[in-house]
Structure 1
Amino acid sequence: MTIIVLSSLLIIGLVLLLAEVLFVPGTTVVGVFGLAVSLAGVVYAFLSFDAEVAWWITSIAVILNLVAIVYGFKSGLWNRFSLKSSMQGGAFDGRTDALQIGMPGKTISDLKPIGKASFGDVVYEVKSENGFIAVETDVTIIKIENNKILVK
């Protein structure tokens, strides 16, 4: 009966450790629980057998657990979970590089206080300095900051 309990503890600990490394990496709960069950198996071995047999069981359990961890890292499974690309672009991507303070334009929608205005042939979202500006009104850029265009 002690062999069955001991082997069950060691096998369950090894399976949980393998599950942590192969199937649910990064959670650490399953891996810590697997190591705790394996440690409980080793403690049970020292309580149930003499010291020489318990040390053999401990060394075999440690070797199997280390092999499981090394196999998990070398199997390449981690590559499926790793980030291989990065986001490009963002809020400051140079959309307003062609604009200058003092540049004239014309609203193509009402600015209440935000709307659309055309500068050259390009349409931009702009914000009025003093609230409402009607459509087809001539405007001038007074400030460009963080891709936000302020007009009057």
Structure 2
Amino acid sequence: MTILILTSLLGIGLILILLEVLFIPGTTVVGIFGLVVSLAGIAYAFASFSPEIAWWIASIATLLNVAAVVYGFRSGVWDKFSLKGVMQGGTFDDRTTGLEVGMSGKALSDIKPIGKALINDQVYEVKSDSGFITVDSVITIVKVETNKIIVK
């Protein structure tokens, strides 16, 4: 009966630690409970057997639990929880392609300092470098940065 209780405690502790590492990582409740059950099994071994046999049981249980944790980390389970993809693209999306310094257009809204303008039959969001520009004013492109159109 003593062997049955001991193997049950150590086996359940080992299974709970494996469950924590392989199937429910990150919760730590199951893993801590598995560690407590394993420690209870080792304490039961010291209470039921001679110290020499108890130390052997504790050593084997410790090695099995450490091996279970090491196997869990090397098994690749954690790869399912890590980001592998790389984002392509950036902030420049070619919306200012074809615009050049000196081109003129018409303000579709008040530009104070940002507003809408019609340039080459397309609507763009522009920024004024000279303050407030009223609706229907003729504007000129002063500078074209990555996604910014500076007008006056």
Query: The TM-score by the shorter chain falls in which range?
Result: 0.5 to 0.7
TM-score for both structures, normalised by structure 1: 0.67
SS in 1 for 2:89: coil
1:20-52: CA deviation from partner (whole Å, max 9, x where unpaired): 211222444543443343233223322332112
SS in 2 for 1:59: helix
One-letter amino acid of the counterpart of residue 82, structure 2: S
One-letter amino acid of the counterpart of residue 133, structure 1: T
| Structure 2 match to 1:38 | 38
User: Does residue 76 of the first structure (1) align with residue 64 of the second (2)?
Assistant: no
Two-structure CA RMSD over aligned residues (Å): 3.4
- In the aligned structure 1, how far is the partner of 2:103 from the partner of 2:37? 72
| Structure 2 match to 1:49 | 49
Unaligned runs of 5+ in 2: none
- In the aligned structure 2, how far is the partner of 1:63 from the partner of 1:115? 69
- In the aligned structure 1, how far is the partner of 2:140 from the partner of 2:93? 22
| Structure 1 match to 2:134 | 133
The Cα of 1:103 is off from its aligned counterpart by 4.6
Query: Compared with structure 1, are the counterparts of its residues 105 and 67 closer, same or farther at alpha carbon in structure 2 (3 Å cutoff)?
Result: same
Return the index of the structure with the highest Cα Rg.
Answer: 2
| Structure 1 match to 2:109 | 110
TM-score for both structures, normalised by structure 2: 0.67
SS in 1 for 2:84: coil
SS in 1 for 2:6: helix
One-letter amino acid of the counterpart of residue 68, structure 2: A
One-letter amino acid of the counterpart of residue 104, structure 1: S
| Structure 2 match to 1:16 | 16
Query: Compared with structure 1, are the counterparts of its residues 33 and 96 closer, same or farther at alpha carbon in structure 2 (3 Å cutoff)?
Result: farther
Report sequence identity in percent. 61
Unaligned runs of 5+ in 1: none
